[in-house]
Structure 1
Amino acid sequence: MNDSVDDFSPINPENPKLDLKTKLAYGAGDFGPAITGNISIFFLLIFFTNVAGIPAGLAGSVLMIGKVWDAINDPIIGVLSDRTKSRRWGRRLPWMLYGAIPFGIIFFLQWIVPRFSADPSANMWPLFWYYVVIGLLSQVVYTVVSLPYTAMTPELTQDYDERTSLNSFRFAFSISGSILSLILVQIVFSYIGDREQQYLVLAAVCAVIAVSALYVCIFGVRDRVLAFEAKRNQTEQPPSMPLFEQLKIVFNNRPFLFVIGIYLFSWLGVQVTATTLPYFVLNCMGLTDSDVPGVIIAVQGTALIMLFVWSALSKKIGKKKVYFLGMSSWIIAAGGLFFLQPSQIGLMYFMAVMAGVGVSTAYLVPWSLIPDVIDLDELQTGQRREGIFYGFMVLLQKLGLALGIFLVGNALQASGFQATTAGQPLPIQPESALLAIRFSVGPLPTIFLIFGLFMAYFYPITREMHAEIMMKLKARQENSGA
């Protein structure tokens, strides 16, 4: 097989419409990270406190330590993916191709409980540092597969509404992966009684599925990506700028600042709610471990259905109005959860559905706005830097995850939450800890969501403005090709 771009370019990159096969393949790329990420979001903190036996505050600090490195890691990989040159795989796909298997292995290692000492108290600090090291490695391999993946969105299509449709497929797979992970949790937890073995088996199954899905995406979108690369290489590219100059331009892009604000606050709301929900179901509602996945599925299942509703509605009323409608539903649900009593199980599921209506917009809207910002940046600078923009988005996603776990973990520890000694039954929690759990599932995410609404209100790029940007870009390309 001749290693040239032309051999893999039967697709016309000028056509803004994507076929179903390409959309499905692209969506599969988020299926694997969603399965592994969802398990981490909902169960990592409770795994640390209830299985590994690490105090809540210390457990919440594990991922925060990685943020110092992450602040460097994400933008660097974003810039490197922009500069990667491979005739056979393009700029983004090599990162996913070679990073997929390490991604699965590191995820599995995160759910092992090493026995450094027979004394539980002496085992605590070695365990802490083990999870810190694995957490650092996890951040790197997650970035290696997820950042180039997300940066492909504007390369697959430049149509304003088609990008929203493409992201609908992406997050449909993402939420489907999340739901599948919860079904797997329910199955594994039902058949395996030992808590430590439960997570080991779950991690192994999820890792295999995640790696497989990434390869489906790589080979499914390859033709379209290489067709884009071929067209891009025909256009004269301006010389590359130094990293710090690029960072300066990125943060001078005013619409991008609003997008990262919308995304950070939305994702903080998602992470805090997701981290707290298992504690809420177990401790405040008096249910069991096997009931936790059902409540989460109510949230994620609703979000999956609403993705396509919001995508269609955004074409009529715009992305900003869709975001406001979804967040309003979630804020009402968060208030209801704070006041729920153990006897109100049916109402709990109803509130979970209402929250899911809002969660879907937290997924869909920020990611459908970022390609428009990249188009504006190309118009202003003459360069396409998807990698560096998406690098900051992935950084914010992981920052939201880590900060959410850190806030909940330290709130629980400050309230007197009792961690479980490995192998022992769950302790009864004091009223102060129950109040902290209620606050973390209701008022705290509401505060973040309100800040997100404020940012969305001032976001400036409309459909009309984006159409004008694309007309100017097309005129420039025609002039440069003349």
Structure 2
Amino acid sequence: MSALSRPNRGTARPTAAVPRAGLVQYALGSAGMGIYVTVPGLLLLYFLTDTLGVPPWLAGLALLVPKVVDVVLHPFVGSVSDRDRARNGNRVRVLAAGCLLAVAFTATFAVPGSAAADPYLAAGWVAVWFVVGNTLFAAYQVPYLATPTDVDVGYDERTRIMSFRMVVLTLGILVGGALAPLLVGDGSGVSGYVVMALCLGAFMLVFQAVGVGGVRSLARAGTAPGGAAEGGGTAAGAVPPARAALAQAWSVLRANRSFRVLAGSYLLVSTTTHLVLAGLPYFAEYALGRPGLTTVLVGSFVAPALVATPVWFRISRTLGKQRCLLAAQWAFVLGSLGMLAGARTGLAVVVLATLVLGVSFAGLQLFPFSMVPDTVRAAGTGELDRAGAYTGVWTATEAVGSAAGPYLYSAALAVGGFAATRAGEQVAQTAGAHTAVLLGFTVLPAALMVLSVLAQRRYLLDSDARGLPEQPAAAPGGAPGTHQGA
């Protein structure tokens, strides 16, 4: 089947849609996740280099090394959540443990004075607490994202579930991205970051708790049939060894070509988007000369997704997810190059390019996440018992990209000779450093996204041709359609 083929709905069997109330409760859990995926990505590299005086190469390593742990951690959590579902019918037990994330989030920025005085100690403090935070994030995110695969719905309904999630996730990203720089303040030092983390950590905790209830609701809405989880003979509910979890992760990658291609492409997407997020404060300060624009640019980047997400959803019902995803990828390339032009022509072009990136970002988040359940279900009902393993691999891919992006940008800064500073210090950056700030933020992400397009074109599954359940769907916030309970 062509990668750009229309979804085949002829063999689908109808199923009831997820009731709107349960879907909204589930989606609200993403608001807290939006804080965690945004604030460290936006501010942590900048916090290290421009507040703690950590050299760019060391700052990049402090953010990269903790994410290496995720390569093992996320598949392990996925296997644990599969066994939790086999035993209890849902993934809530593992999910609830992740609600401690706000503590680690705050501690990451609360660098004590003794550590803050030494760049190596400061980098070590941030790295250690970042590992703890990533562990708790995995405990929440992996079972949370595996739950839609458990629900017995079809091609468009899976996109509908993820579109509700994407709207709420966007609100969380907007809250975190817009408020975090304002709460930190200009030149406030470590104390400003601690205040920010306490405020946003409380927001995170409340919505994570709501999301736990939402996962229960979604699980009750219609769980797909499945028996005891696979995984090398481990009893249902038992904790699998990490080695077995890694073997299972390798197994799903090797056996499912569609998932493998999708994950490879999304690795580049995640790397690109997190690179742009990490580079945005530097771009605002050193390329535009207006550090206060960080909040404005984050808003311009994220806010369009609130409108674009339901639009992307409706378009995908006609064109399919693959075509829409490729269009979003190309739009991101154009937006990145537009930022390069805007840095030399004026703020209006920068804002316009940022809006293009925001519309693209909505598609880059909506479609890959809604295509993961497609790849699992197309592989056969036997794979449903390993949905957590798939999600563990997927979120590990996202985590690696979220570290690789800032690391690549920090490497560009280091090559350009960017000088790290402490809070309140003023250092004149060289011409090479300014060039690195600009090209690392524009040309580098454009090139990475082109590579992602080339990888995504190898994805051949964009239909329910194997008789997976299908039902017309209503866009989030739109008029009720033929869905039961929509």
TM range (shorter): 0.7 to 0.9
Of 70-79 and 194-203, the range deviating more from structure 2: 194-203
Aligned partners of 1:185 and 1:245: how far apart in 2? 38
Q: Which runs of 5+ in 2 are unaligned?
A: 1-13, 234-243, 471-486
Aligned partners of 1:365 and 1:248: how far apart in 2? 24
On the 8 A contact 1:238/1:382 being kept in 2, the answer is no
Query: Helix, strand or coil: the match of 1:429?
Result: coil
Which residue identity lines up with residue 263 of structure 1 in the other structure?
Answer: Y
Q: Who is 2:176 aligned against?
A: 181
Q: Deviations over 1:191-217 (max 9, x none)?
A: x76232221111001111111101111
Q: Who is 1:344 aligned against?
A: 346
Q: Which runs of 5+ in 1 are unaligned?
A: 1-13, 472-482
Tell me the CA shift for residue 342 of structure 1: 5.7
Q: Who is 1:136 aligned against?
A: 131
Aligned partners of 2:115 and 2:368: how far apart in 1? 46
Aligned partners of 2:138 and 2:209: how far apart in 1? 16
Aligned partners of 2:385 and 2:154: how far apart in 1? 16
Match of 1:281 among 270, 281, 284: 284
Q: Who is 2:421 aligned against?
A: 420
On the 8 A contact 1:276/1:408 being kept in 2, the answer is yes
Aligned partners of 1:47 and 1:189: how far apart in 2? 10
Query: Helix, strand or coil: the match of 1:259?
Result: helix
Indicate yes or no: 2:256 matched with 1:253. yes
Indicate yes or no: 2:404 matched with 1:372. no
TM-score by length of 1: 0.87
Q: Who is 2:211 aligned against?
A: 217
Aligned partners of 1:363 and 1:221: how far apart in 2? 20
How many aligned residue pairs are there? 445
Structure in which a larger fraction of residues adopt helix: 1
Aligned partners of 2:374 and 2:29: how far apart in 1? 21
Q: Who is 2:392 aligned against?
A: 391
Tell me the CA shift for residue 227 of structure 1: 5.5
Name the % identity. Answer: 22
Q: Who is 1:359 aligned against?
A: 361
Q: Who is 2:482 aligned against?
A: none
Pair 1:362–1:428, CA change in 2 (3 A): same
Aligned partners of 2:85 and 2:385: how far apart in 1? 15
Q: How does 1:20-419 map to 2 (within 5 A)?
A: 20-84=20-84, 90-100=89-99, 102-116=100-114, 120=117, 123-185=118-180, 187-189=182-184, 194-226=188-220, 228=222, 232=225, 237=228, 240-241=231-232, 243=244, 244=247, 247-288=250-291, 290-341=292-343, 344-379=346-381, 381=382, 383-419=384-420
Query: Helix, strand or coil: the match of 1:385?
Result: helix
Aligned partners of 2:269 and 2:395: how far apart in 1? 13
Q: Deviations over 1:277-315 (max 9, x none)?
A: 110111011102x22111111010112221111011000
Which residue identity lines up with residue 459 of structure 2 in the other structure?
Answer: Y
Query: Helix, strand or coil: the match of 1:458?
Result: coil
Pair 1:303–1:236, CA change in 2 (3 A): closer
Tell me the CA shift for residue 241 of structure 1: 3.6
Indicate yes or no: 2:458 matched with 1:458. yes
Aligned partners of 1:382 and 1:44: how far apart in 2? 38
Runs of 4+ residues deviating >6 angstroms: none
Q: Who is 1:476 aligned against?
A: none
Q: Who is 1:5 aligned against?
A: none
Q: Who is 2:438 aligned against?
A: 438
Tell me the CA shift for residue 85 of structure 1: 5.2
Q: Deviations over 1:377-422 (max 9, x none)?
A: 334x46521111110111111101111111111211221101112x
Query: Helix, strand or coil: the match of 1:29?
Result: helix
Query: Helix, strand or coil: the match of 2:467?
Result: helix
Pair 1:224–1:407, CA change in 2 (3 A): closer
Query: Helix, strand or coil: the match of 2:113?
Result: coil
Pair 1:195–1:240, CA change in 2 (3 A): closer
Aligned partners of 1:57 and 1:440: how far apart in 2? 14
On the 8 A contact 1:273/1:445 being kept in 2, the answer is yes
Pair 1:26–1:48, CA change in 2 (3 A): same
Pair 1:38–1:64, CA change in 2 (3 A): same
Which residue identity lines up with residue 307 of structure 1 in the other structure?
Answer: T
Aligned partners of 2:411 and 2:256: how far apart in 1? 35
Q: Deviations over 1:26-53 (max 9, x none)?
A: 1111110111221111111001111122
Aligned partners of 1:50 and 1:266: how far apart in 2? 27
On the 8 A contact 1:378/1:384 being kept in 2, the answer is no
Which residue identity lines up with residue 131 of structure 1 in the other structure?
Answer: V
Tell me the CA shift for residue 157 of structure 1: 4.2
Aligned partners of 1:61 and 1:144: how far apart in 2? 24
Query: Helix, strand or coil: the match of 2:109?
Result: coil
TM-score by length of 2: 0.86
On the 8 A contact 1:147/1:387 being kept in 2, the answer is yes
RMSD over equivalenced CA pairs, Å: 2.2
Which residue identity lines up with residue 265 of structure 1 in the other structure?
Answer: L
Aligned partners of 1:400 and 1:417: how far apart in 2? 23
Pair 1:386–1:245, CA change in 2 (3 A): closer
Tell me the CA shift for residue 240 of structure 1: 4.5
Tell me the CA shift for residue 245 of structure 1: 5.3
Tell me the CA shift for residue 443 of structure 1: 1.6
Of 367-376 and 323-332, the range deviating more from structure 2: 323-332
Aligned partners of 2:259 and 2:286: how far apart in 1? 40
Aligned partners of 2:287 and 2:72: how far apart in 1? 39
Of 434-443 and 336-345, the range deviating more from structure 2: 336-345
On the 8 A contact 1:75/1:392 being kept in 2, the answer is yes
Tell me the CA shift for residue 171 of structure 1: 1.1
Aligned partners of 2:138 and 2:169: how far apart in 1? 16
Aligned partners of 2:128 and 2:348: how far apart in 1? 42
